[in-house]
């Protein structure tokens, strides 16, 4: 069974000037263990697709199934729990919580899930797996380089052992060398850990990491 | 790490504005508690002054009756109506008293000599008699008249007659019946002869059993006011109730002024919290996107408001002790009033009001934060 499945999905934003169709009938299935790139020009519907995959938004029509559950009729709390338990988010701007130390940032989703007893050990384990030295665990995110911050963000995304990782231009804010290192890390997570990865990017060089590339134009799959 | 930890860290991240908000709450708590203590001290002060006359009924001519005096016959009727309780009639006047060369004005109470021991306690000397030409003086009058020589054993001239001071009364405090501390008490027989008068101003009824107070009042009303209102019958309990009600109104008014400052402090917390939400829109979006529920975001912001409120209230509570002590010492002349449970309650009330105001001020910003759209919040720069 696919981890993510879209069946005739549309997303329409009603605006005073007229409806804006962001997704116009998407059929899509992403299988477990796949590394999928989503590419397309600005306004093609990539972000909307990613938002619905991430349970941040729901479709106007059609069926979306994530981790075996239809998200169409879910309320805000159920969508939040879906994000917490099944999805790992990685953002272009890292989006770590500045008030928390590196290890606390990674612990945070575990604590949300009620795993307070094991959260510290699990956070340290994941941080070590993404290559953050122990001496950095107590640092604040602002004290780390961009590449290190993105590694911490990847660790946070992995902490709850999600069904898949959703990455929104994860190398967009990094120099090419650091970007390559981050892509290598995600590639390793995909190949060695079997993590499903869906990544939105404008960078055509990323296709070499992907099993499949989805191209979008005007809210449709090209 | 908990939501409380996050709230605490955010409060300390912007320490300056947090300190200012805390100061605002502390000032509000101090204002409310101090003004409450002030009003309460006024009530306590009255209570101390009049607490010894709770068993007293005062009968005075009814204002509508057109007269300001009671006749001998009316006094006799009252005496019969009150049965075994003691009815003490008295008259008052103001006159010049001469001791040696010194002249001064003094309040004079004329009371039947046989009744004086039932109304007043002696500190020194003896009670005056109907037959003699003796008088007694109040404690404060004696203390204040050292220069003029009005003291035990002195000869005081009123008009063309000379009275001997045979006794000094114990201090009695302010009362609703008579205030003898600054007065001269003479036997009614002397007053009647000296001023050629045979009427009384009021009758004080000392009720033996306080539980009979209403029955005695009723008996006087029945006897005197059956056809028309001839006399007013008041018991000191009723007067006290009115005084305390007035003191309570003053307290509420004063606390209202204090509450205004606390509400202003609440607005400053609202402002601080709204700034906090606006600055952290993206952070809230991240928290929501990685699985933080609305209720959890709301809790985090309410904790922030509560931290500011509780810290402000505790500081305000401690400061209220100091200001309360100063207020009771300076205005009421008795700092012990601060330690009366009714006064301390105002500190607790001020603190509780401070925390409640802070929590209420945090509600809207917390609700606003919790209901941000996570997608739009994530896009916020």
Give 10-residue mean pLDDT values along chain B (381 residues): 86 89 91 88 75 75 79 90 90 88 86 90 88 87 79 84 89 79 91 89 86 86 84 80 80 83 83 86 91 93 93 95 89 83 90 91 92 88 76
Answer whether residue A130 is part of any domain: yes
Distance CA A101, CA A136 (A): 9
Question: Which pLDDT score is estimated for B65?
Answer: 66
Bridge-based pairing state of the strands B102-111 and B183-187: parallel
With an 8 Å Cβ cutoff, the interface of chain B facing chain A consists of 1-2, 6, 9-10, 13, 282-283, 286-296, 374-375, 378
Helix residue ranges, H only, A61-214: 76-86, 102-112, 116-129, 146-159, 176-192
ipTM value of the model?
0.91
User: DSSP labels for A3-61?
Assistant: SEEEEEEEEEE--TT--EEEEEEEEEEE-TT-EEEEE--TTSSHHHHHHHHTTSS--SE
Answer whether residue A49 is part of any domain: yes
Question: Which pLDDT score is estimated for B285?
Answer: 92
The separation between CA A31 and the C-alpha centre of its own chain, rounded to angstroms, equals 15
When CB atoms are compared, the residue of B1, B289, B293 closest to A89 is B289
Question: Which pLDDT score is estimated for B52?
Answer: 56
Answer whether residue A169 is part of any domain: yes
* Contact (CB, 8 A) for B285 and B372: yes
Range(s) of the domain holding residue A89 = 35-56+74-221
Distance CA A84, CA B196 (A): 101
Work out the angle at residue B340's Cα, subtended by the Cα atoms of residues B337 and B345, and round it to the nearest 5 degrees.
115
Question: Which pLDDT score is estimated for B370?
Answer: 92
Question: Which pLDDT score is estimated for B46?
Answer: 74
Distance CA B57, CA B304 (A): 58
Residues of chain A with pLDDT under 50: none
Question: Which pLDDT score is estimated for B106?
Answer: 87
When CB atoms are compared, the residue of B286, B291, B374 closest to A112 is B291
Tally of domains in chain A: 1
Best mutation target among A82, A101, A108 (most B Cβ atoms within 10 Å) is: A108
Question: Which pLDDT score is estimated for A114?
Answer: 85
Helix residue ranges, H only, B231-340: 236-279, 281-289, 294-330
Answer whether residue A141 is part of any domain: yes
Q: What sign does the dihedral A168-A173-A179-A184 (CA atoms) show?
A: negative
Distance CA A86, CA A54 (A): 9
Answer whether residue A16 is part of any domain: no
For the stretch B97-109, what's the b/e string if a residue is b when 16 or more beta carbons lie within 10 angstroms of its beta carbon? bbbeeeeeebbbb
The candidate with the shortest Cα–Cα distance to B159, out of B108, B185, B189, B194, is B194
Residue of chain A minimizing CA distance to B294: A77
* Contact (CB, 8 A) for B270 and B25: no
Inter-chain touch A76–B375, beta carbons under 8 Å: no
Question: Which pLDDT score is estimated for A127?
Answer: 93
Question: Which pLDDT score is estimated for A22?
Answer: 92
* Contact (CB, 8 A) for B113 and B127: yes
DSSP H/E element including A87: strand A87-90
CB pairs under 8 A between A and B: 60
Answer whether residue A39 is part of any domain: yes
Residue B339 DSSP symbol = G
Residues of B in contact with A97 (CB under 8 A): 6, 283, 286-287
B270-302 pLDDT per residue, tens:
888 888 888 889 999 999 999 999 999 999 999
The candidate with the shortest Cα–Cα distance to A212, out of A21, A38, A15, is A38
When CB atoms are compared, the residue of A76, A84, A100 closest to B291 is A84
Residues of B in contact with A81 (CB under 8 A): 291, 293
* Contact (CB, 8 A) for B108 and B95: yes
User: pTM for the whole thing?
Assistant: 0.72
Instruction: For residue B150, give both structure tokens.
Output: 């009005």
CATH number, domain of A197, equals 3.40.50.300
Q: How far is A85 from chain B (nearest CA, A)?
A: 8
Residue of chain A minimizing CA distance to B374: A56
Residue A67 DSSP symbol = T
Q: How far is B367 from chain A (nearest CA, A)?
A: 15
């Amino acid at each position: 069974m696919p981890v993510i499945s879209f069946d005739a999905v549309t997303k329409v934003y009603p605006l005073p000037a007229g409806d804006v169709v962001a997704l116009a009938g998407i059929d899509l299935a992403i299988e477990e263990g796949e590394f999928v790139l989503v590419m397309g020009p600005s306004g093609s519907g990539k972000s909307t697709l990613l938002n619905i995959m991430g349970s941040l938004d729901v479709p106007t029509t059609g069926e979306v199934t994530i981790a075996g559950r239809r998200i169409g009729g879910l309320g805000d709390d159920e969508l939040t729990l879906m994000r917490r338990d099944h999805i790992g988010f990685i953002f272009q701007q890292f989006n770590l919580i500045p008030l928390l130390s590196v290890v606390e940032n990674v612990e945070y989703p575990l604590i949300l899930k009620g795993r307070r007893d094991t959260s510290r050990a699990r956070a340290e384990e994941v941080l070590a797996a993404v290559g953050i030295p122990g001496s950095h665990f107590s640092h604040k995110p602002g004290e780390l380089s961009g590449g290190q911050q993105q590694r911490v963000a990847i660790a946070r995304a992995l902490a709850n052992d999600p069904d898949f990782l959703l990455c929104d231009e994860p190398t967009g804010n990094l120099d090419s060398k650091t970007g390559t290192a981050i892509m290598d890390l995600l590639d390793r997570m995909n190949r060695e850990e079997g993590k499903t990865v869906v990544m939105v990017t404008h960078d055509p060089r990323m296709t070499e990491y992907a099993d499949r590339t989805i191209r979008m134009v005007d809210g449709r799959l090209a | 790490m908990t939501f409380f930890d996050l709230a605490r860290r955010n409060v300390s991240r912007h320490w300056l504005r947090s300190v200012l908000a805390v100061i605002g709450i502390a000032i509000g708590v101090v204002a409310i508690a101090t003004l409450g203590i002030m009003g309460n001290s006024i009530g306590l002060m009255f209570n101390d002054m009049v607490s010894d006359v709770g068993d007293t009924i005062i009968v005075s001519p009814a204002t509508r009756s057109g007269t300001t005096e009671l006749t001998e016959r009316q006094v006799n009727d009252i005496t019969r109506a009150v049965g075994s309780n003691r009815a003490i009639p008295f008259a008052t006047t103001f006159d010049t008293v001469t001791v040696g060369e010194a002249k001064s004005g003094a309040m004079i109470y004329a009371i039947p000599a046989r009744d004086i021991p039932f109304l007043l306690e002696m500190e020194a000397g003896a009670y005056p008699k109907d037959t003699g030409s003796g008088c007694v003086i109040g404690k404060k009058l004696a203390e204040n008249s050292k220069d003029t020589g009005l003291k035990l054993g002195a000869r005081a001239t009123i008009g063309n007659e000379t009275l001997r001071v045979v006794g000094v009364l114990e201090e009695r405090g302010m009362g609703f019946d008579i205030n003898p501390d600054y007065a001269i008490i003479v036997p009614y027989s002397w007053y009647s002869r000296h001023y050629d008068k045979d009427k009384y101003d009021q009758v004080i009824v000392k009720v033996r059993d306080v539980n009979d107070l209403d029955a005695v009042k009723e008996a006087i009303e029945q006897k005197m006011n059956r056809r028309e209102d001839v006399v007013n019958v008041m018991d000191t309990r009723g007067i006290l109730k009115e005084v305390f009600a007035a003191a309570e109104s003053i307290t509420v008014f004063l606390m209202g002024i204090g509450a205004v400052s606390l509400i202003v402090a609440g607005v400053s917390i609202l402002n601080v919290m709204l700034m906090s939400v606006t600055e952290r829109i993206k952070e809230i979006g991240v928290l929501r996107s990685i699985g933080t529920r609305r209720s959890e975001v709301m809790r985090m912001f309410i904790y922030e408001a509560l931290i500011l409120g509780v810290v402000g209230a505790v500081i305000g509570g401690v400061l209220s002790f100091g200001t309360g002590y100063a207020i009771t010492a300076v205005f009421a002349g008795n700092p012990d009033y601060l330690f009366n449970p009714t006064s301390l309650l105002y500190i607790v009330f001020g603190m509780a009001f401070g925390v409640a105001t802070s929590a209420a001020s945090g509600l809207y910003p917390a609700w606003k934060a919790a209901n941000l759209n996570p997608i739009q919040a994530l896009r916020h720069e």
